[in-house]
Structure 1
Amino acid sequence: MMLPQFSHIQLLRFAGLFQYASVGTPFLRYRVVVDDLAAKQLPTSYAHLWLGCYIVFGIVYWYLTRDLGARERTPLRSGVQIALLVVLNLMAVAIGWFSQSGISALLLAVVAVVLPWLLPLRVGIAWMVLQNFSLVPVFASIREPAFSLSDAFLQSSLYSGFIVLAFVTALVTKQQVEAREEQRRLNAELRATRALLAESSRLGERMRISRELHDLMGHHLTALSLNLEVASHLVQGQAQTHVLQAQSVAKLLLGDVREVVSQLREDDSIDLTQALRDLVEGVPGLQIHLDLPAQFGIEDPRRAQVLLRCAQEIITNTVRHAQARNLWLGFELDPRRQMIIHARDDGRGASELVQGNGLSGMRERLAQFGGRVEIQTTAGRGFALDALLPLEGST
């Protein structure tokens, strides 16, 4: 029987859920919990509030981490994420308050597992420190044994080791995932470049063969035909018949060579289909919808490379900055012999376009051939780009 395969992200999430379940073991003897609180002269309602906060904590944690292991994640708005994190922290602190115990620290360790995935590193570290010392009022509220403020501070510092361990474990996992995804993206780019080089080599070899046939065999056959023409005027009878036959064969061979050279040069374009399919295959966290012309051949190797690099830059920017789930990438040849790249994603967009090195490099590559880039973006409505490359003209 095959066991289910879980990624290390999913295992980390399930470890947090196991920690959460372990914290809930006192509720297996709920009557004892109520009696214990009554013995401490605390309201019976504390037990009900403790259970309610525990349930809310579990629901929020499950919702926040439900797609951490998925390749296509459903992005939450940052404001929603922060609000849910605040709810997790409040529930953890409330559980400690109502239970009059230090189990809040165990739940804050569960929260620390989530922080590196949802917050920038510096913000996550600051959040972890603040949530750790939110335990101080919890410990100060405990009646048996009573804690002074300094004791409560020391007690919260004692639990900080568990919280830091959980945070660093999640951070290392996140960095490994990002490194693996970057490696997959680079491998896709390498396969695309290799396919382009193979097409360029194929084109170069065909051109070399056509030149060799035209320059060498064509020259020799032309010289042979001329010599046979001269010989046909110098001989008579049976010999002249054979010379004329040889001259006819030489002309046929010369015609065949010219036809082969023409056929070789007819298919002298680089097919970008395989290179682009390799480029979009296996891009992490992004579904790319590729639309290619039926016959996608580019005669100029330099322009073919520009098109591939532009597609590569579009995909890279979408993965790194757009927070998109889908990218529509199409290539269209218009009547003016311009190849147009249409790119559109369903990401977050931007209210103001900030042009980085990638877009600047794309503009420079296209400008060398008289091309240009047109960009449209609005906050919350994704990013749209049209790159135009003339296939003839300016170089």
Structure 2
Amino acid sequence: MFGIKLNHTSMLRYAALFTYLCVGVPLVSTWADQRLSMLQRPNMALLIWAVCYVLFGVIYWLLTRNFGSRRFWPLKVLGLAIMILASIVIGWVSHSGLPAMLMVVIAVVLPLLLPIWMGVVLIVLQNLGMVVMFSLFPEYQHSIGPALLQSSLYLGISALAFVVALVASQQAEERERQRQLNSELRATRALLAESSRIAERMRISRELHDLVGHHLTALSLNLEVASHLAQPPAADHVRKAQGTAKQLLADVREVVSELRQDAELDLTHALRSLIEGVPSLNVHLKMPPRFAVEDPQRAQVLLRCVQEVLTNTVRHAHASNLWLHIERTADGGLRLDARDDGRGAPQLEQEGNGLTGMRERLAEVGGRLDIPRPQARGFHLSAWFPLEPEVGLPGVSARPETPGVA
């Protein structure tokens, strides 16, 4: 209702943000001034406290804008290290356990930003930093035992938050993988049903041609001979029967030709099955009312390209809308235009496995993939391939001509 996409990962993001805001309550009350006065901190301490708190929140918001993506992890590690340092400075200035709450916020987002082993290392390091901070407190300077005890209590809370976020992240990934498999299964089932329909039409056309057509031809020849041997008035009836046989043979030939001509795979249902149920993404599909492709290999390439566009948009684009336009071109090809309203691709980065695989699939059928750069807002790509196989392409052979009807 407010334009917020509420799924498991976004709920974790906003729950951690709420925790962060609660930690800032002392700054907007008299508690911070009273605390610093009791500790005899200089006036600059309150400013340091506020700057570190704001810095923590800004970095947190930037890091979680594209939640779930594992790209640019060195920058993310740097941002998390700054957040840990800022929280420790807040704890040292305020002489309190406030950094423990901030580190719980960090623990919540770690499984969604970094690999598991890196998240565990950062949790251990941030709690070691808290041990150092507690050891600087006057009451803990004589023995490190209380500092270790205090830090271990907060470590347990951070570990709990980390595991909860990890489980939620894995469940979200499994649900998305299951949704993709289900949509792919529905599209494949529609493609198989369409292939079965075409195979059945071809079988019927062959039966009509080989059996009915053969017998009608034989009947027409026999009636031709009979028309020369019969005497009136039987000869008139024989000629009428001969004309009827010829007309019936022409009708059978026409039906066989129509059955053979309608041998294209209707991809309308398969494409719509792919785009159904995509989480937190409005997919706008524009294509002809009945969209069909004759070559099964090209039909499979188109479905896989659409599927890869959907996957990349959900995982990386952080978009709300995706526009897909499929059309036949004047040069006898097929074009897929995809555009979203996500964060774009401002820099020329190395393409991932998905786009590389799309280029390879298109190259196998003589097609190409065009991605304009840079793209400051939204991501756009255009895929094209010829509808007719070309001799000489690797893995592609010329389609044999459909035999005519005798």
Indicate the TM-score class for this superposition, using the shorter chain for normalisation.
0.7 to 0.9
SS of the residue aligned with 1:335? coil
The 5 Å alignment of 1:184-263 reads 184-263=179-258
State, as a whole percentage, how many aligned pairs show the same letter: 50
Change in 2 beyond 3 A, CA 1:61/1:172: farther
Match of 1:338 in 2: 333
Contact 2:324 2:336 in 1 (8 A): yes
Q: Write the letter of the residue equivalent to 1:121.
A: I
Give the distance between the partners of 2:60 and 2:351, measured in 1 at CA.
Answer: 36
Shift of 1:173: 0.9
The AA in structure 1 aligned to 2:40 is L
Deviation at 1:102, TM superposition (A): 2.5
2:125 is matched with which residue?
130
On the 8 A contact 1:139/1:152 being kept in 2, the answer is yes
2:159 corresponds to 1:159: no
| Alpha-carbon separation, structure 1, partners of 2:162 and 2:307 | 34
Letter in 2 for 1:42: Q
Q: In structure 2, what is the Cα distance between the partners aligned to 1:10 and 1:185? A: 20
Asked if the contact 1:13–1:65 (Cα under 8 Å) also holds between the matched residues in 2, the reply is no
Q: 1:389 corresponds to which residue?
A: 386
In structure 2, the residue corresponding to 1:134 is in which secondary structure?
helix
Distance 2:51 2:226 in 1: 109
3-state secondary structure, aligned to 2:96:
coil
Query: Match for 1:300 among 292, 295, 299?
Result: 295
Q: Pairwise mapping of residues 286-325 of structure 1 onto structure 2 (< 5 A)?
A: 288-293=283-288, 296-316=291-311, 319=314
- Please say if residues 49 and 98 of structure 1, whose CA atoms lie closer than 8 Å, have aligned partners that are also in contact: no
Cα 1:106–1:373 shift into 2, 3 Å:
closer
| Alignment map for 1:369-384 (pairs within 5 Å) | 369-373=365-369, 377-378=373-374, 382=379, 384=381
**Counterpart of 1:132 in structure 2: which amino acid?**
N
Does 2:150 match 1:173? no
The change in CA–CA distance for 1:221 and 1:167 in structure 2 (over 3 A counts) is same
- What's the counterpart of residue 401 of structure 2? none
8 A Cα contact 1:108 1:131, kept in partner: yes
**For residues 302 and 272 of structure 2, what CA distance do their matches in structure 1 show?**
13
Tell me which of 80, 86, 108 is aligned to 2:103: 108
Structure-2 residue corresponding to 1:277 = 272
In the alignment, the residues of structure 1 paired with residue 352 and residue 63 of structure 2 have an alpha-carbon distance, to the nearest angstrom, of 33
Instruction: Give the 3-state SS of the residue equivalent to 2:278 in structure 1.
Output: coil
Q: Which region of structure 1 is more displaced relative to structure 2, 169-178 or 90-99? A: 90-99
Q: Is the 8 A contact 1:199 1:270 kept in 2?
A: yes
Q: Secondary structure at the match of 2:385?
A: strand
Structure 2 gap segments, 5+ residues each: 392-396, 398-406
- The aligned counterpart of 1:42 is 40
Structure 2 partner of 1:93: 88
Q: Do 2:326 and 2:337's aligned partners in 1 also have CA atoms closer than 8 Å?
A: yes
Contact 1:67 1:74 in 2 (8 A): no
- Residues 28-73 of structure 1: per-residue CA shift (max 9 Å, x gap): 9x668866776x553596996699579748965984698789xxx9
Q: Which moved more, 1:51-60 or 1:340-349?
A: 51-60
* Structure 1 residues 146 and 274, CA gap change in structure 2 (3 angstroms): same
The 2-side partners of 1:312 and 1:379 are apart by 22
Q: Could you tell me which amino acid in structure 1 is paired with residue 262 of structure 2?
A: D
Q: Which moved more, 1:260-269 or 1:189-198?
A: 260-269
Residue of structure 1 aligned with 2:348, choices 346, 351, 357? 351
Amino acid paired to 2:253: R
Instruction: Name the amino acid aligned to 1:167.
Output: F
Aligned amino acid, residue 167 of structure 2: V
Q: 1:278 to 1:213 in 2, by over 3 A?
A: same
Distance 1:244 1:187, change over 3 A: same
Contact residue 367 and residue 386 of structure 2 kept, 8 A: yes
Give secondary structure in 1 for the equivalent of 2:331. coil
Between 1:169-178 and 1:73-82, the stretch displaced more is 73-82
